[in-house]
């Protein structure tokens, strides 16, 4: 099966490797990317000389007969490019976030509703073994109906969002769209209730400062004492080269949200980008009247605490792979869609809802207001 790729970056290359491991007949035959010479060299080194490279998506779509398309560009381009692919009806793998502005989100929703493309959004967490287990436990009724959720994401590699292109909020749309979009999706997937309203707050307390815009670690007079310095790492070992304490360092460094669901229950979510080492955490606690189930992606441990008997069940799923095992399932599903055997298990509807929550959360944080999550 022939794959067309728009934006041939590291993340999408990893997804392609997972797809090819699911079906060795899948191969990349066409790429759209502005880095033509660099990519030609990469492809030649991999023995992929027969891949055609195009300057525009329109040229590739007009010239190629493809079985599926993957979009792996920077975030601000996702909607624009998806809207060019959707009318073809081809299966589409779309990186998250699906949109970075509310205007783009509504355009994408309209374009999707007018198409018949099967879209797989890059939401591997909903397919991770640990989330699958938690959902099975909750769906069994063991803990009763979920009546409260507490979720957290303490990111131990937060400097990625301040020391390279991710620091540009015009590209990222803020860190709800970069990180919480994953978490909101798996939480919605597990709860299986429509969210109704959101309020949120963000703060920037650490990664800010008065260093000159565009300053790189190697040019800074404090690079021997700065805890974030990458100036003396071996050449090519890091891409985090810009100063995390410069005046042009974007993105909040912590954020929290409250989400109200259709049943009246609510969820609390908090993310942080300056936690390190043992302070890392990513997971959730789902509370029902009969019991509580909680888990952490980093430890791979799921626990079920029964409320009315002295019993705790523990499951150890610490052997998960890329994105805690979810990337493999996304690739398997996409191959099944291209074969005409499956429908998307990570659909664009879910991507649109998650992006809506993130965008409305950002608006809530700016305006100090509750925001409705109903489509207008």
User: What local confidence, expressed as pLDDT, does residue 345 receive?
Assistant: 97
How far apart are the C-alpha atoms of 353 and 160, rounded to whole Å?
26
Q: What percent of the chain has pLDDT over 90?
A: 89
User: What local confidence, expressed as pLDDT, does residue 233 receive?
Assistant: 81
First to last CA, the chain: 39
Beta pairing partners, 52: 30
**Where residue 376 falls among pLDDT bands split at 50, 70, 90?**
confident
pLDDT tens for 85-134 read 999 999 999 999 999 999 999 999 999 999 999 999 999 999 999 999 99
**Where residue 337 falls among pLDDT bands split at 50, 70, 90?**
very high
Among 69-78, 210-219, 232-241, which is the least confidently predicted range? 232-241
User: What local confidence, expressed as pLDDT, does residue 239 receive?
Assistant: 73
Sort residue 225 into left (φ over 0), alpha (ψ -120 to 50) or beta. Answer: alpha
Q: What is the DSSP letter of 97?
A: P
Q: 245: closest CA among 268, 217, 270?
A: 217
How far apart are the C-alpha atoms of 25 and 281, rounded to whole Å?
39
Is the predicted pLDDT of residue 234 greater than 90, yes or no? Answer: no
Give residues with Cβ within 8 angstroms of 170, minimum separation 6.
76
The residue extents of the domains of the chain are 2-123+327-346, 126-205+251-321+355-372, 208-249
Phi, psi of 292 (to 5 degrees): -130, 135
CB 12 within 8 A of CB 82: no
Q: Please provide the CATH number assigned to the domain covering 2-123+327-346.
A: 3.40.50.720
196 three-class SS: strand
How far apart are the C-alpha atoms of 178 and 156, rounded to whole Å?
15
Entry pTM? 0.95
Q: Look up the CATH architecture of domain 126-205+251-321+355-372.
A: 2-Layer Sandwich (3.30)
pLDDT, greater one: 29 or 171: 29
Give residues with Cβ within 8 angstroms of 93, minimum separation 6.
15, 68, 69, 70, 71, 119, 120, 122, 330, 334
Tokens 């919480």 belong to residue: 180
CB 163 within 8 A of CB 244: yes
How far apart are the C-alpha atoms of 119 and 81, rounded to whole Å?
13
User: What local confidence, expressed as pLDDT, does residue 237 receive?
Assistant: 67
pLDDT tens for 60-82 read 999 999 999 999 999 999 999 99
What the block records as the tokens of 60 is 């590739």
H or E segment and range at residue 44: helix 36-45
User: What local confidence, expressed as pLDDT, does residue 236 receive?
Assistant: 63
CB 125 within 8 A of CB 182: yes
Mean pLDDT of 326-342: 96
User: What local confidence, expressed as pLDDT, does residue 215 receive?
Assistant: 96
pLDDT tens for 269-287 read 999 999 999 999 999 999 9
Is the predicted pLDDT of residue 322 greater than 60, yes or no? Answer: no
Is the predicted pLDDT of residue 320 greater than 70, yes or no? Answer: no
CB 287 within 8 A of CB 148: yes
254 three-class SS: strand
Mean pLDDT of 155-181: 94
pLDDT tens for 196-211 read 999 999 999 999 999 9
Q: 361: closest CA among 244, 284, 252, 286?
A: 252
Q: What is the DSSP letter of 204?
A: -
- The secondary structure of the chain in percent helix, strand, coil, rounded to multiples of 5, reads 40, 25, 40
Longest dimension (CA), the chain: 66
């Amino acid at each position: 099966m022939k794959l067309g790729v728009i934006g041939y970056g590291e993340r999408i290359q990893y997804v392609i490797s997972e797809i090819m491991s699911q079906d060795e007949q899948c191969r990349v035959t066409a790429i759209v990317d502005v880095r033509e010479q660099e990519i030609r060299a990469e492809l030649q080194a991999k023995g992929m000389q027969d891949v055609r490279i195009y300057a525009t998506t329109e040229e590739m779509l007009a010239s190629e007969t493809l079985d599926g398309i993957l979009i792996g560009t920077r975030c601000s381009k996702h909607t624009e490019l998806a809207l060019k692919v959707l009318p073809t009806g081809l299966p589409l793998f779309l990186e998250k976030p699906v949109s970075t502005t509310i205007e783009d989100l509504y355009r994408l929703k309209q374009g999707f509703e007018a198409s018949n493309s099967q879209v797989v959004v890059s939401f591997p967490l909903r397919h991770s073994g640990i989330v699958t287990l938690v959902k099975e436990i909750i769906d069994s009724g063991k803990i009763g109906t979920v009546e409260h959720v507490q979720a957290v994401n303490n990111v131990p590699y937060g400097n990625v969002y301040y020391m390279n292109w991710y620091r540009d909020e015009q590209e990222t749309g803020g860190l709800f769209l970069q990180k919480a979009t994953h978490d909101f999706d798996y939480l919605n997937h597990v709860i299986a209730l429509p969210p109704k309203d959101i309020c949120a707050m963000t703060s920037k307390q650490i990664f800010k400062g008065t260093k000159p815009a565009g300053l790189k670690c190697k040019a800074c007079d404090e690079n021997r004492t700065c805890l974030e310095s990458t100036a003396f790492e071996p050449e090519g070992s890091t891409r985090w080269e810009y100063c995390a304490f410069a005046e042009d360092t974007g993105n909040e460094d912590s954020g929290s949200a409250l989400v109200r669901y259709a049943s009246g229950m609510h969820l609390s979510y908090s993310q942080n980008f300056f936690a390190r080492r043992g302070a890392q955490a990513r997971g959730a606690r789902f509370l029902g009247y009969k019991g509580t189930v909680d888990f952490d992606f980093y430890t791979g441990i799921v626990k079920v605490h029964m409320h009315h008997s002295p019993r705790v069940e523990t499951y150890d799923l610490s052997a998960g792979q890329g994105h805690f095992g979810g990337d493999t399932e996304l690739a398997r599903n996409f191959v099944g869609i291209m074969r005409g055997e499956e429908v998307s298990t990570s659909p664009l509807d879910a991507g649109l809802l998650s992006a809506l929550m993130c965008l409305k959360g950002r608006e809530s944080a700016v305006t100090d207001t509750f925001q409705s999550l109903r489509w207008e």
